[in-house]
Amino acid sequence: MKFKAYQWGELLGILFLLASTAAQIFYVEPLRREIEWRLAAFAMQQNAQVQIEATYGTHIATLKALNAPQAGITAAETERDATLARFRTANANISDYLIDKEQVENYLQIIVIGLFAVGSLLAGFGRAMEMRASGKPE
């Protein structure tokens, strides 16, 4: 059995549709989930940062109110700054990751849409040519 050109086009269109579905399932959705997980971790990290900053602020204010030695206050301030610096580094790492991955997700979405559009057109064109060749519209 020999295939006609439009039948090959229809077959290719169906393969493009399958490829777009596979790209969506195996690449775009897992990437989207990972981005959402990292955003959730970022939100929790931001909350922890605010709480730690408030805790250190209360601790330092208490030390000052109790007229603690300046060395103790300075040590608490140094410890607060070191802890908050670690949060800032982690914030930058998460934001850099998200910026990089969102661009990849956008490109993958464009590819999926393109594959789906081309596949739909080819499959539809193949079906139309098959109906035309058979001589009876359905």
Give mean pLDDT, residues 107-113.
91
Q: What residues make up the domain containing 66? A: 15-127
H or E, element range at 26: none
pLDDT tens profile 11-49 = 899 999 999 999 989 988 998 898 888 888 888 888 988
Residue 68 lies in a domain: yes
pLDDT tens profile 39-64 = 888 888 889 888 999 999 999 999 88
Q: Give the chain's domain count.
A: 1
Q: Is 137 left (phi over 0), alpha (psi -120 to 50) or beta?
A: beta
Residue 68 has pLDDT above 90, yes or no: no
Residue 104 lies in a domain: yes
Residue 103 lies in a domain: yes
Question: Model pTM?
Answer: 0.67
Residue 122 lies in a domain: yes
Rg (CA), the chain: 29
Residue 132 lies in a domain: no
Residue 113 has pLDDT above 90, yes or no: yes
